[in-house]
Amino acid sequence: MKRWVKMIRFIGGLCLVTLLGIAYVSYLCHNSLCLAPEHSSLSPRYSISSSSSRSEILSSPASLVKLIGGFPLKVNIESVAFEEAYDMGFDITSRDVIVFLHIQKTGGTTFGRHLVRDLNLENPCNCPRKRKRCDCFRPNTVNEQWLFSRYSTGWKCGLHADWTELTDCVEGALDEYEGTSRKRRYFFITVLRDPIHRYLSEFRHVQRGATWKSARHWCGGQEFTSLPHCYKGSNWTGVELDEFMNCSYNLAHNRQTRMLADLTLAGCYTGYNTTADQLERDRILLQSAKQNLASMAYFGLTEEQSTSQYIFERTFHLDFANRFDQANATLSAQAIAELTPAQIERVRQLNSLDNELLEFARQLLHERFKMLKRRDPHFRWNWLRVIHPHKRLVQSFISAQK
């Protein structure tokens, strides 16, 4: 009898320890989806058709699998990568949609205007005077958009929606806008900028009163509306740089990496910029941002306008009527000149992930440029038209080739 009592107590003790262990793990992982271990890859979160290494730049996420509430949810988005876009082109008459991921202070406003106003199309976007948005409808349709951006559809997925928001929202937003459900091919594009210049530009913008308070910060099936603000009152007008940098939850820090990464991989905004597991979180976000950038149909760099324009035109087989003007860096250069060496180093440290992302992007951009140049039988003509888009020069070049 005593033996049975001891056995029952032993089994009961094992059950109690097991339950306590489950409760402990649940507490640690609450609302964070648990950070992946060092040896894990991104594949449990969404499927990539081929390797995501930098040298294999032609990989494409044909569809995405995200974890919503801890369970995998299939997001049926057909995303077209760079090589596929180049091989097949962009079919404006079919079901292709360009989705512009607009990161703050990267020159995206100018680029967005180029998209709606300067593309040489048989049926260009209709941009009525005194209206911010244009109608970029497919030929022979009245409401089917081929461009999803600020200046065409507006902020349908939220103000400056990031990769996490766009991939979760764009299909439903277009279905609602067009009044019908359909499958589309999505060509994601974006523009990146030197992190120090971008950060200082955002600082100046915030100093003048910008807040982006209406951003949704949608992630993992919920909207994070209670993110702390770095300021009291309605805005941060007049903020000094040191105060701007000292706010640990300032979303300006490493903004480009965060907006290109799949935030569900690192618990969305739960515990954002806390010291716990920060290095692991940073590693996951940077890896994800690089992978997502490499899988995009196109990205450009603010500091390399001509190269970026050439890559866009050859990738999409679409030409711009006006060239991409090199961004005027006078204000950023002036702002940097006013900083102390310690402040410059602090800005660099606060944007260390963006610095590494930019190096990756610059190398990838140059690889794509070399590949397109090698495949372009009319490279001299196409390149001359990008850097000197004047009819007289183009006509002179044509005459010289005859």
Write the pLDDT tens digit of every residue in 41-52: 343 333 333 333
Distances (CA, A) of 144 to 139, 252, 323: 9, 35, 27
Closest CA to 256 of 357, 349, 165, 365: 357
Least confident of 77-86, 242-251, 271-280: 271-280
C-alpha angle 85-90-91 in degrees, rounded to nearest 5: 140
Q: Which residues are catalytic?
A: 160
Write the pLDDT tens digit of every residue in 132-164: 999 999 999 999 999 999 999 999 999 999 999
Token readout for 380 is 């001299």
pTM of the model: 0.81
pLDDT band, residue 226 (cuts 50/70/90) = confident
Domain 82-387 has CATH 2.40.50: no
Alpha helices in 102-235 (DSSP H): 108-117, 163-178, 195-207
319 contact partners, CB below 8 Å, separation of at least 6: 119, 120, 313, 385
Alpha helices in 302-387 (DSSP H): 305-316, 330-337, 341-350, 352-375, 379-387
Q: Is 209 left (phi over 0), alpha (psi -120 to 50) or beta?
A: left
Mean pLDDT of the chain: 84
Write the pLDDT tens digit of every residue in 92-133: 999 999 999 999 999 999 999 999 999 999 999 999 998 999
Query: Which neighbouring-strand residues pair with 59?
Result: none
pLDDT band, residue 225 (cuts 50/70/90) = confident
The domain ranges of the chain are 82-387
Q: Give the three-state DSSP class for 74.
A: strand
Least confident of 64-73, 318-327, 352-361: 64-73
Q: Give the three-state DSSP class for 326.
A: coil
State the amino acid at position 349 in one-letter form.
Q
- pLDDT > 50? residue 203: yes
Q: Report pLDDT for 388.
A: 87
Write the pLDDT tens digit of every residue in 291-341: 999 999 999 999 999 999 999 999 999 999 999 986 555 566 777 889 999
